[in-house]
Amino acid sequence: MRRLPVPIHHHWRNTTEVPVQRGFVAINARVAGKNYRIVNTHLEVREPQPGNPISQVFQAAQAFELIGVLRATTPIGKSLLVLGDFNSSPEDAGVPGPLPLPEPFDQGLVPPYQQLAAAGYTDGWTLRWHVRPGFTCCQAEDLLNENSQLYERIDLILSWPAPARVEDIRVVGTKHWDKTRPPAPRLWPSDHGAVAAELRF
């Protein structure tokens, strides 16, 4: 797993160094005569604090580096699938600059979802008509909440280039019958719903 460093802590004053251990894994695959690179990642949680909007900088920097690394290392002719918990939804707002950060973040912080969309990645969920909003996060930390309380869509299946079509895409693990069975406490399988899709390139 490659670590996505955020080499900007030394630009802040009166703070301590905090290591950020996130990364991605990737595999090259050949399916039905077509070449793919499949990447899975998990970006840092965005936790804006009152009076400190640049707390979003960690995940913005991780997305920026991830996009650059994949652009530089993905061979021509491979379809690229980027999956994971991005901790960023289509509704996330950026932080306008100027900010006391190194380039390019001094001009403002762009959330990961918006960065990936601007880099040409297609969000598979948007290619299908859905009655449900596709929320994937989050159940209670102890997984004991009775009813599902997912409220935001931050687990994504992105592709470059866009697939020719999306046969199916759905959130799974969010129904009562997905929970563990008695006599043990009935638990959700995860605090997130999982996104499953069938894409055609």
Tell me the pTM.
Answer: 0.85
At 23 the pLDDT is 86
> Worst-scoring range by mean pLDDT, 3-12, 62-71, 177-186?
3-12
Tokens, residue 174: 């969010």
Higher pLDDT, 15 or 112: 112
- C-alpha–C-alpha distance, residues 134 and 198, integer Å: 16
Identity of the residue numbered 113: Y
- C-alpha–C-alpha distance, residues 147 and 155, integer Å: 20
Give the number of other CB atoms < 10 A from CB of residue 192: 19
- C-alpha–C-alpha distance, residues 147 and 139, integer Å: 9
Residue 60's alpha-carbon distances to 19, 79, 95, in angstroms, are 16, 24, 10
Assign residue 20 the CATH number of its domain. Answer: 3.60.10.10
Q: Could you tell me the residue range of the domain that residue 164 belongs to?
A: 2-200
Asked if the model's pLDDT at residue 139 lies above 60, the reply is yes
Q: What is the pLDDT of residues 8-37, one digit of tens each?
A: 333 445 556 666 667 899 999 999 899 999
Percent of the chain with pLDDT over 90: 72
Instruction: Find out whether 88 and 64 touch, Cβ atoms under 8 Å.
Output: no
Instruction: Give how many domains the chain has, as a whole number.
Output: 1
Asked if the model's pLDDT at residue 160 lies above 90, the reply is yes
Which residues fall within 8 angstroms of residue 46, CB to CB, at 6 or more apart? 55, 56, 59, 87, 88, 92, 111
